[in-house]
Every structure is written in structure tokens, then in C-alpha cells.
Structure 1
Amino acid sequence: MNPESFRKRFAEIPSEMERIVAEGEIPGISCGVRFGDTVETASFGVTNTNHPLNVNDEAFFQIGSITKTFVALAVMRLVDAGRIDLERPVKELLEDFALSDKGAEEKITVKHLLTHTSGMKGDYFKDFGYGKDALEKMVKSMSAIPQINPPGKILSYCNSGFYVAGRA
């Protein structure tokens, strides 16, 4: 696809976004897509109905768990390409992956990470800024978090597992 074809295809998206906002389903929406060096964006509505600011390219939204979908998609593309095996221990992919529970550290697989069954403490949040090394720093800092359950035994929502999956 060339940049002009990309722009034409993207042009179909804003009208749907505008319809969703007009119908009151959501107060505001912003979308950005990059194809090579070409970036297209569209924004509609307000950031918050209680303190409305117009949504634009500069508006910040709390992204919440939508990133887990993107991480899982990226991992599964690597699985399809034969670069990641879901059953392989994470420690084989990330040699510096370390947890306080060394037994769990050796057993946790990529599948455990994506299915919230790693057993790691899930609510672990530290701010390492926006640098290219932020995720690496986050995963390295996880060596101190507790192991709550044995890997693969209990499903428990696990944000921290997705830091590791994203790093892998």
C-alpha cells in the first residue's frame, strides 16, 4: 500500500468515529495510525463530560488495559513467525528475568503471562518515565515482587505479567 492509498483508507474512519460521539455512546475519541512515515489522526468530542476539553491530537487519555490486547497481538504474531513458543519459560527469552521466587521464575511461560496465570503479584506499578529503556527497567525491578500463587494454578488479573510479555 502506498501513502496515498493509506490516506484514502484512513479517510473512512473519522465518519464512524464522529457518528459514535454524536450518538452519545462515548464523550470523545481519538485515533492515530502510522504507515511508514505517514501519520493520520482524527479526534472528536470531549475528554470528560464533567470537565470537557475538546479531544485533539494532543489530548491524553488513560489507556487502561487496551494495551494488553496490543501486547497479546504482538506476541501471537511472533508465535506465528516461530520466534516465540507459548510453552517455553520466559527465562529462556529474557535471561535477566528475575523474581523473588526462583522456582516460579524458572516455570513461568509466555502462556502464563497472556492468560493471567503466572501467579505474580499483578498490581505492581512503578514509574520509569517514557524512555526507550522504561520497560526494561520495569521488568528488572520486578525481582522484588512476591509470588502470590504457583504458575498455572489460579487465574488472577496480572498487569505485571504484561510488562514481561511486552519486554519479551
Structure 2
Amino acid sequence: MNDRSLFRLAGAAAMLGGAMRVATAFVPWAPGVAWLEAVAFAIDVLLLFGLMGVYLAHRAVLGWAGLAAFVLAVIGIASIVGPDAAVFGIDTYLAGVHAISVGLAVLGLVMLSARVETIAAIFWLASLGVGLAGGFIGQGAAGFLIGGILFAL
């Protein structure tokens, strides 16, 4: 497969995963509901492949900082794929969301400095900022909701 085809598939995965993430942001979460778990799994996998496409398309200009941020974000997404669990007393979903947020924010800064995918970079930075602000003012759920939508855009 050539790069162009790979990047198109990754772009399609990112757009579909992002659209699904926005659409499901308003669906109340209920753990153990099979269809919700399946949709969440699909979203996470699509976003994982989409992120891979973004990184691979610009890897030459993102440097070591971009690679480190990408790896952190991928670890975060990979940790939330599938049913949520606590491993060794650690909430893997919460840890994964933090890893994704920090990884994408750092990747966003690197992308802005490299002048690539600036809109995505701005949304990723805004996602972290809104999430943190929501928690800071006691509106964590609203920060998570809006931050999640910004992340998906």
C-alpha cells in the first residue's frame, strides 16, 4: 500500500472516529451495556488509527518531541480500548485519558511549531485547557464533555 492510500484510510478513520465521539458525547454512559462498549471500542480504535496517520504524515518535521508525545497519546488510547478496569488500584480509563490529553497537547505544541495540522493542534490544546478549567472550577463533567468534543474535532 502506498503512503497516499494509507493516509486516506487513516484520515477516514479519524473523521469517522471523531464524528462518533462527538455524537456519543451526549449519550449517558452505562458500564456493561454491550452496544455502548462496542461503540466506545470502535471509536477508540478509529481514533488510534487516525492519530497514527497524523503522526506518520508529518513525522519528518515533528522530531523526537513529536515522537514522544505521539507515543504517550497512543499508550493512552490503547489503555482505554475495551472494558474499563482498575489494574493494581489504578483506574486505567482515567490514566488513559490523562495520557491522551497530555500527549496530544504536547504533540499539538510541536505541530504548531512545525506549522502542520494547526487546526487539529489548536483543538487538542483547547481540549486539555477546557478539561483542566472544568476541573478547576468544580465543573469536571462539563469540562470532560466539552474537552472530549474538542479532542474529537
Higher helix share: 2
Q: If the length of structure 1 is used for normalisation, what is the TM-score?
A: 0.24
TM-score by length of 2: 0.26
Larger relative contact order, structure 1 or 2 (CA cutoff 8 Å, min sep 6): 2
More strand by proportion, 1 or 2?
1
Larger gyration radius, structure 1 or structure 2: 1
